[in-house]
């Protein structure tokens, strides 16, 4: 993907909010935004948090995903490549403006590098900002209100070659219009190979159900907010963006073990002897002994990936014959979008919700 400088300009941003699932939602929004503005999207590093480390770790975008399929949708370039090739003449240090909606933090301006992961992210590219720009009242919803021409008018690429956003120019959860862009996001060969070799060695022959159990302590706490905010996190993926398909329940967020087993048994009975394996992905407790015991009347095994590797877990879930995910979790939402783009079936725990509850 060799590029000459883009006269239509660039968009850079920090995926500074949340972990992988949140960042993926934001990424799809950001590329949708860049396409609408006809600017090249600079692919940021993914931001990860390691236990016991004060500062975030930045992982190159292409460590997990292929760049080329994205080009079928819109012009993109790795942030690092852009910085090495063009930054000095196109975006010299004295002209590096950070964009935010309104003042952020204690002192005047965007304070783009204040706090973690903000500082580590921009330091990855040796970027310091010389000024701030508040873009309010413009916003990222480029599908309504003539927003694209408003951005062009206020920030023409001739004067503003790079719009560098302090956070993602996108909403969370992902805007409906951007969901389909997921089909251009493809695991790179390495992740694909790890997922495939696990499937070939530990699952095949036979079909398998992939399930996502989001049950860490952070999740328990998040689910406590469920009654106050019925469209929590990725809930629109099953409830609809306007709650067309029901209101969130505690079970939708944190299904009981009984619900998990009941739903699994229903699916296994439906597809019967074809299913050889249940693959469990989890951030905390895979419940392998408990599930093996509960499903012992069926002739199948219950397995997990031997390491804590969220991306390989996601890739395996994406390839499962059937999937049951967590409607509230953006980690599950990643899987659902990928599977939808491949025409594979999905279910969510405790959905459809029992309206009597």
**Cβ nearer to ligand GFB, comparing 22 with 87:** 22
Q: What is the CA radius of gyration of the chain?
A: 22
| 118 φ, ψ (degrees, to nearest 5) | -55, -50
212 lies in the binding site for ligand GFB (CB under 6 A):
yes
Quick one: which of 250, 310, 340, 344 contacts ligand GFB (CB under 6 A)? 310
Quick one: which of 219, 254, 323, 351 contacts ligand GFB (CB under 6 A)? 219
Least distance to ligand GFB, CB of residue 332, Å: 7
Site for ligand GFB, residues 269 to 288, rule: CB under 6 A: 281-283
**Cβ nearer to ligand GFB, comparing 37 with 235:** 235
**Cβ nearer to ligand GFB, comparing 138 with 328:** 328
In angstroms, the CA 321 to CA 318 distance is: 9
Site for ligand GFB, residues 50 to 79, rule: CB under 6 A: none
In angstroms, the CA 186 to CA 177 distance is: 19
Site for ligand GFB, residues 11 to 40, rule: CB under 6 A: 18-22
Q: Is-contact 183 117, C-beta < 8 A? A: no
Q: How many CB atoms lie within 10 A of CB 28?
A: 24
Least distance to ligand GFB, CB of residue 46, Å: 10
Least distance to ligand GFB, CB of residue 6, Å: 31
Q: State the DSSP string of 185-228.
A: --B-HHHHHHHHHHIIIII-SSEEEEEEE--SHHHHHHHTTTTT
Cα-Cα-Cα-Cα torsion 311, 316, 322, 324, nearest 10 degrees, comes to -30
Applying CB under 6 A, the residues found at the interface with ligand GFB are: 18-22, 212, 214, 218-219, 222, 233, 281-283, 308-310, 313, 329-331
């Amino acid at each position: 993907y060799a590029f000459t400088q883009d006269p239509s300009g660039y968009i850079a941003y920090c995926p500074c909010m949340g972990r992988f699932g949140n960042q993926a939602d934001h990424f799809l929004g950001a590329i949708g935004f860049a396409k609408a503005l006809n600017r090249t999207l600079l692919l940021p590093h993914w931001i990860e948090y390691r236990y016991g480390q004060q500062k975030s770790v930045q992982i190159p975008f292409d460590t997990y995903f292929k760049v080329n399929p994205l080009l079928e949708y819109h012009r993109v370039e790795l942030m690092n490549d852009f910085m090495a090739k063009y930054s000095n003449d196109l975006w010299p240090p004295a002209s590096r403006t950070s964009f935010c909606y309104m003042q952020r933090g204690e002192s005047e301006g965007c304070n783009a590098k204040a706090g973690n992961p903000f500082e580590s992210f921009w330091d990855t590219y040796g970027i310091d900002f010389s000024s701030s720009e508040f873009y309010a009242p413009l916003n990222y919803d480029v599908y309504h209100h003539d927003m694209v021409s408003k951005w062009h008018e206020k920030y023409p690429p001739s004067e503003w070659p790079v719009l560098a956003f302090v956070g993602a120019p996108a909403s969370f959860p992902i805007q409906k219009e951007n969901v389909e862009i997921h089909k251009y996001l493809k695991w790179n060969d390495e992740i694909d190979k790890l997922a495939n070799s696990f499937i070939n060695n530990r699952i095949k022959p036979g079909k398998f159900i992939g399930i996502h159990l989001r049950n860490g302590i952070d999740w328990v706490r998040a689910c406590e907010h469920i009654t106050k905010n019925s469209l929590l996190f990725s809930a629109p993926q099953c409830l609809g963006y306007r709650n067309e398909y029901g209101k969130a329940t505690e079970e939708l967020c944190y299904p009981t073990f009984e619900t998990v087993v009941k739903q699994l048994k229903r699916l296994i009975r439906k597809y019967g002897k074809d299913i050889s394996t249940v693959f469990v992905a989890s951030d905390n407790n895979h419940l392998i002994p408990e599930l093996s015991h509960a499903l012992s009347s069926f002739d199948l095994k219950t397995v997990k990936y031997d390491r804590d590797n969220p991306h390989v877990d996601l890739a395996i879930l994406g390839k499962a014959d059937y999937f049951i995910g967590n409607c509230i979790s953006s980690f599950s939402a990643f899987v659902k979008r990928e599977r939808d783009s491949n025409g594979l079936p999905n279910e969510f725990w405790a959905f459809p919700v029992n309206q009597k509850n």
